Amino acid sequence: MVSTGSQTVLVAGGGIGGIATANRLRRRLDRRHRVVLINRDPDFTFAASYLWVMTGARRPAQITRPLRRLERRGIEVVIGDVTDIDPATRTVTVGDQRLTGDHLVVSLGADWATDRIPGLAEHGQTFATLGGAERLAGELRRVETGRIVVVTAAPLYKCPAAPYEAALLIEAGLRARGVRSSVEVAVRSAEPAPMPVAGADVSAAVTMLLAQRNIDYQPGRQITAVEPGSLQFGDTNERADLVVYMPPIVAPPAIANSALAADDGWIHADRSTLATAFPGVYAIGDNTHIVLGIGKPLPRAGVFAHGQAHVVADTISASISGAPTPTGFDGHGGCFIETGDGRAAYGAGNFYGDPAPTVALHDPGRRWHWGKVAFEQQVMRRWL
Ligand SMILES: Cc1cc2nc3c(=O)[nH]c(=O)nc-3n(C[C@H](O)[C@H](O)[C@H](O)COP(=O)(O)OP(=O)(O)OC[C@H]3O[C@@H](n4cnc5c(N)ncnc54)[C@H](O)[C@@H]3O)c2cc1C
């Protein structure tokens, strides 16, 4: 159906998915139509660069931009907490405002569930938040001896590559400071292998990268508690002078408490169209739970939020202009894994592959590191 009047698109969430959606809609829709982006924090920060904050290669200001900059392009920005979503009427409650759209895109990400593991927040350090990465950078600069253990605190977390990347970068940093021989580096993962959704070859290649750098890796180890100087895994414990963690995640309450949520709290959107059960309501990025043919969920990664954002923005603009509906999201994506020394590996492929994802990991090289830098620069300079 072609619309002749003004339409409003609400985009809930101003992270990777929300910004990519709003920008693309703004480019495609004429100014009669409103694009309204809602986000809790006034600033966007680029999570993929937090690991460079951890290593000291970036200052927080370099990867932070005010969301209000989107207003220069004609995107309306509302800063506030979404407390309720009524998908039947496409209404979002933000403080004392109730905003209703003709179309609604939900991209509220995933919340941290750090408190699921007793002692984790108190005695551990994380690279998963900007403030955490800054504090961890200070801790790492002081390490001269001892044992650093990087843990994934649950099998489900954001960016499956990030904890392995963190361990490799920490190892390289210790080497650069000449203290590597007196510091042990270990990884304990709750999942059965590194990046298991990407397949056995990728898992084996990442395991090899860790082994080559003498990083002691043990999969299938779910931590149950953290105490000063030690990590608990059920009945056993291990010494850890510095615990570095990737937190578990949970669906944001505004979603889990809404009619959009499945029993697990996440939105089970259509894997191709990202449509929900409610007309005109789409969900993209980390707040969706898309189960692949292998029975495991599509990883929570910005590359997928970005690809899905384009599909949804194109679908909405086509529905307004009467253009043909675009092809759906095809499950392709890739991610860089920084390995230190100015190099990165690159894993990419089709996560919707049938019967299983077909993903390959390219060996570490300078070009992949510069590829990650180039993408960061594109986001920081062109997106906002
Ligand atoms: C350390 C780290 C490294 C990573 N590296 C990579 C990488 O190299 N490549 C990659 O592809 N992915 C990476 N990721 C994952 C990537 O950052 C996420 O998958 C991506 O940001 C998801 O986009 P999103 O839009 O779904 O959610 P987000 O980007 O998290 O955005 C959600 C937004 O919603 C806001 N919000 C939440 N609840 C509310 C509410 N109630 N009211 C208002 N606003 C709300 C949040 O403040 C946030 O701005 C990394 C993640 C981390 C933590």
Same domain for 117 and 227, yes or no, is yes
Q: Confirm or reject: Cβ of 17 under 6 Å from ligand 1.
A: yes
Rounded CA separation 258/155 (Å)? 25
- Phi and psi, residue 214, nearest 5°: 60, 40
- Residue 172 in domain: yes
Same domain for 104 and 116, yes or no, is no
- Residue 227 in domain: yes
Rounded CA separation 106/38 (Å)? 10
- Residue 370 in domain: no
pLDDT score of 139 = 98
Q: Which residue range(s) make up the domain with 88? A: 8-110+251-321
- Residue 350 in domain: no
Same domain for 183 and 237, yes or no, is yes
pLDDT score of 4 = 64
For ligand 1, atom 41, which residue shows the shortest CA distance? 82
Q: Confirm or reject: Cβ of 106 under 6 Å from ligand 1.
A: no
We report the CATH number of the domain holding residue 75 as: 3.50.50.60
Indicate the SS3 state at residue 372: helix
Q: Confirm or reject: Cβ of 64 under 6 Å from ligand 1.
A: no
Same domain for 154 and 230, yes or no, is yes
Same domain for 277 and 210, yes or no, is no
Same domain for 196 and 314, yes or no, is no
Same domain for 122 and 243, yes or no, is yes
pLDDT score of 2 = 57
Q: Confirm or reject: Cβ of 81 under 6 Å from ligand 1.
A: yes
Q: Note the residue count of the chain.
A: 384
Same domain for 240 and 271, yes or no, is no
Q: How many angstroms is it from 284 CA to the middle of ligand 1?
A: 11
Q: State which H helix or E strand residue 62 sits in.
A: none
- Output the CA–CA distances (angstroms, integers) from residue 282 to 88, 269, 294, 308, in the order listed: 12, 7, 24, 10
- Residue 47 in domain: yes
- Residue 212 in domain: yes
Same domain for 177 and 205, yes or no, is yes
Same domain for 132 and 243, yes or no, is yes
Rounded CA separation 191/180 (Å)? 27
Q: Confirm or reject: Cβ of 18 under 6 Å from ligand 1.
A: yes
Same domain for 213 and 227, yes or no, is yes
Same domain for 104 and 36, yes or no, is yes
pLDDT digits (tens, 9 = 90+) for 36-89: 999 999 999 999 999 999 999 999 999 999 999 999 999 999 999 999 999 999
Domain closes at, from 321, 345, 371: 321
- Residue 291 in domain: yes
pTM to 2 decimal places:
0.97
Domain closes at, from 223, 249, 275: 249
pLDDT score of 36 = 98
pLDDT score of 174 = 98
By the 10 Å C-beta count (0-12 exposed, 13-18 middle, 19+ buried), 210 is classed as buried
Rounded CA separation 374/354 (Å)? 32
Q: What is the CA radius of gyration of the chain?
A: 21
Q: Which of 37, 39, 54 to mutate to test the pocket of ligand 1 (most atoms within 8 A of CB)?
A: 39
How far out from the chain centre does Cα 96 lie? 29
Number of domains in the chain: 2
Q: Which of 10, 21, 40, 375 to mutate to test the pocket of ligand 1 (most atoms within 8 A of CB)?
A: 40
- Residue 72 in domain: yes
Q: What atom in ligand 1 is closest to the CA of residue 303?
A: 11
Q: Is the dihedral of CA 45, 51, 54, 56 positive or negative?
A: negative
Mean pLDDT split into 10-residue runs, the chain, 384 residues? 80 98 97 98 98 98 98 98 98 97 98 98 98 98 98 95 98 98 98 96 98 98 97 97 98 98 98 98 98 96 98 97 94 97 97 96 97 97 94
Under DSSP, the state recorded for 380 is: I
Q: Confirm or reject: Cβ of 301 under 6 Å from ligand 1.
A: yes
- Phi and psi, residue 34, nearest 5°: -95, 140
- Output the CA–CA distances (angstroms, integers) from residue 372 to 4, 144, 205, 210, 339, in the order listed: 42, 30, 20, 20, 12
pLDDT score of 3 = 57
Q: Confirm or reject: Cβ of 163 under 6 Å from ligand 1.
A: no
Q: How many angstroms is it from 28 CA to the middle of ligand 1?
A: 24
Domain closes at, from 224, 249, 274: 249
Q: What atom in ligand 1 is closest to the CA of residue 13?
A: 34
User: Beta strand pairing status for 225-227 and 230-233?
Assistant: antiparallel
For ligand 1, atom 20, which residue shows the shortest CA distance? 302
